[in-house]
Amino acid sequence: MAVADHALSWSAQGGDYLRRGEWLAGVGYRYQYSDHLFHGTTDLGHTDGNPSFKNRAIHFIDLHATYMATKRLSLSLTLPFKYADSTSSYEHDFVHFHTMHAGGLGDIRLAAGFWLLDPAKQREEDRKHRNISLGLGVKFPTGDYQATDTSYRGTGPIQWPVHPSLQLGTGGWGIVLQMDAFHEVFRNGFVYASGSYTIEPRNVNGVPVIEYPGVQSVPDSYVGTIGLSYMIWPKQGLSLSLGGRIEGLPVHDLLGGSEGYRGAGYVISIEPGLAWSRGRNTFTMSAPVALERNRQATVAERRAGWQGYAAAFADFLIQASYSRRF
């Protein structure tokens, strides 16, 4: 899934556009914890007492910097870091519970964004603010997609690849498509929308999966949000937002094959949030709460006549970011 979001434009947060030659740099954090299993949209319940799975926790930290090359064109670099652990018995001897870990640098992203409307005219004209930014980027396979930890088998401990959700990268290059839009619908009130889709043409990466008779897939991924932001305290730059969010891994990739094991499915959430802009600094926080979770059967699972594995989904996320304009 995507790391902590920082896509909502500076303008939609109550600030001004970045000028040519300016920088926006910061750090984002996201936390998710799952101890529920879902088969399709069916909640199999809390995993206390489950014979094979207990919980999974994932922390994301991303360092990001954006440079405004022209009044419309921006260049952004994101360095993601991840620390994750999973406690289960099925990754070991199916009797005793143990925890496997992974941590480090993920897949780096470099992207360019372009405002479709001239920001200078938006500043000069006394009318409602609105704009759309379209982006195109590259995801580099810098994260370790073969991370291992100790698996305690009945015959003794061995080193084995951690669960795909814990891996730091996918092992494939990606094409990143992005969109960011906002429109002032009433004084200090903005409708916003943002989305990102990462195309990964590589089919599989050759890493085995313990509960699956095959290897890991290299899946596409997506995230999208839409909602309303209202500046409740303009002098202090404080705004609240409420929106909807969807993110997940598709069953079929746009390019390349879709074989192997992937946690195909999606989460639809309601996302309350706040943003505080003070001088050159902006702080945001949101807590998406899951409304629907769906583990979808993959290409390989459907071919084998299966209805798909059960998968763990979080009840909510915690996301926060801080950025500073230079």
User: The pTM is what?
Assistant: 0.90
- Cα 100 from Cα 91, distance rounded (Å): 9
Compute the average pLDDT of residues 302-326.
88
Q: Which residues contact 105 (CB under 8 A, 6 or more apart)?
A: 79, 80, 81, 142, 143, 144, 168
Backbone angles phi and psi of 59, in degrees to 5: -115, 130
- Cα 200 from Cα 221, distance rounded (Å): 8
Of 8-22, 89-103, 241-255, which gets the smallest average pLDDT?
Answer: 8-22
Domain regions of the chain by residue span: 23-325
Q: Which two tokens stand for residue 289?
A: 């709460």
Please report the pLDDT score of residue 2 as a whole number: 41
- Cα 309 from Cα 287, distance rounded (Å): 27
Q: Which two tokens stand for residue 317?
A: 């996320």
The domain 23-325 is placed in CATH, from the list 3.20.20.70, 2.40.160.40, 3.40.47.10, 2.40.50.140, at 2.40.160.40
Residue whose token pair is 């870990």: 101
Which SS3 state, helix, strand or coil, does residue 120 take?
helix
- Which residues on adjacent β-strands are paired with residue 154? none
- Cα 110 from Cα 78, distance rounded (Å): 7
Please report the pLDDT score of residue 303 as a whole number: 86
Q: How many CB atoms lie within 10 A of CB 123?
A: 13
pLDDT at residue 39 is higher than 90: no
Q: How many CB atoms lie within 10 A of CB 217?
A: 30
Compute the average pLDDT of residues 136-145.
97
- Cα 13 from Cα 188, distance rounded (Å): 10
- Which residues on adjacent β-strands are paired with residue 209? 212
Contact (CB, 8 A) for 251 and 220: no
- CA 125 from chain centre, in angstroms, equals 36
pLDDT tens figures, 189-205: 999 999 999 999 999 99
Please report the pLDDT score of residue 73 as a whole number: 94
* Residue 62: half-sphere exposure toward Cβ, Cα within 13 Å: 26
Tell which residue, 131, 135, 113, 112, has the closest CA to residue 121: 131
- Which residues on adjacent β-strands are paired with residue 302? none
Please report the pLDDT score of residue 5 as a whole number: 45
Q: Which residues contact 324 (CB under 8 A, 6 or more apart)?
A: 24, 25, 26, 280, 281, 282
Which SS3 state, helix, strand or coil, does residue 123 take?
helix
Residue whose token pair is 């922390």: 59
- Cα 273 from Cα 317, distance rounded (Å): 12
Q: Is 225 exposed, middle or buried (0-12, 13-18, 19+ CB in 10 A)?
A: buried
Mean pLDDT of the chain: 89
Please report the pLDDT score of residue 162 as a whole number: 95
Backbone angles phi and psi of 126, in degrees to 5: -85, 80
Let me know how many helices (H) and strands (E) the chain has, helices first.
2, 21
- Which residues on adjacent β-strands are paired with residue 225? 194, 245
pLDDT tens figures, 72-109: 999 999 999 999 999 999 899 888 999 999 999 999 99
Higher-confidence residue of 130 and 192: namely 192
Compute the average pLDDT of residues 144-157.
94
Compute the average pLDDT of residues 257-268.
92
Compute the average pLDDT of residues 12-17.
57
